[in-house]
Structure 1
Amino acid sequence: MLNTAAALDAVDRSLLDALQKDGRATVGELAERVSLSTSPCWRRVRQLEESGVISGYHAHLDRHRVGYGVLGFVQLGLHNHTADTTAAFEREVLALPQVLSCHNLSGRYDYQIELVAPDLETFAEYLRTRIRNLPGVREISTSFSLKEVKRTVALPVDLA
């Protein structure tokens, strides 16, 4: 089993890079790209999946074409930081499909949520009715994306 980045060799990193670029590539196509035969390639991909290095596969959707014209970043301060409050907050955030990401932060705010909505009116209503009512929320500050310059979920696999 792979436990650390140090356990990844050059072939593993090449496989990861290839899969991030094309998650639908067949094992045969991957094997060709990394100069392996099919069976060893399949075993390596399976080992990367089993070790959790590859945590899943997905289709990347264009939010505009799906109907989400607004992307906002909501910074939240909580009343307190007890285990019960933060657990309740995080549990409810996990259940909100409009939340693309949620990060526990250092600094002034406790959390930042990346949130999508079809339009500003819907975003504002969602903020008032759902986000403001999350457990422990004391303070909210919102910024909107005016232009998305870069978005990726692909990680750089070359640590050099």
Structure 2
Amino acid sequence: MKIAPGAEKPISPQHFFVIDFNDQAMNRFIEHQMLSTFKEFWDDYHRHIKKYSGPKEARVNPPHLLVRCDEDWHVLCDHYMSRAFQQHSRMNKAARQPSNHSSRSKSFLQRQHELAEQREESIDRVELFRKTHVRDETFVSHAAEDNPRCRMAYEAH
């Protein structure tokens, strides 16, 4: 079969991609690519929403790709503004912060044992807290300072 010069040749995905779904490595790669693309999508639109001062302003300013998809954009806005998402987002943000203690990779139990050996007496939880979360009479991080339990332990001594 010949195609006349200047005529458009039909393009079929079968000519470009040969995907063997029995190949585990191929499946892992495809799943990874799909997950990465999905995460980028959610992250891009979350960043877009955060540019605006409130949910109402964000709702009327969809990103370029969703200009004619109001219903989809409103579903995303509702999701990002939901209490569950906000709480999850705060928890994840806190988890990404630098550690709020000064024990580095040592466990608190190991640190307590070392302090007890140095002093030759047992160390209670409050004293352990002060040794691992307070330096020069100030907290080692804002996360420790903002935590009500940490504040109570600090003020107990």
Same topology, TM > 0.5: no
The higher-RCO structure (CA 8 Å, 6+ apart) is 1
Larger Cα-atom Rg: 2
Larger helix share, 1 or 2? 2
Give the alignment's TM-score, normalised by structure 2. Answer: 0.31
Larger strand share, 1 or 2? 1
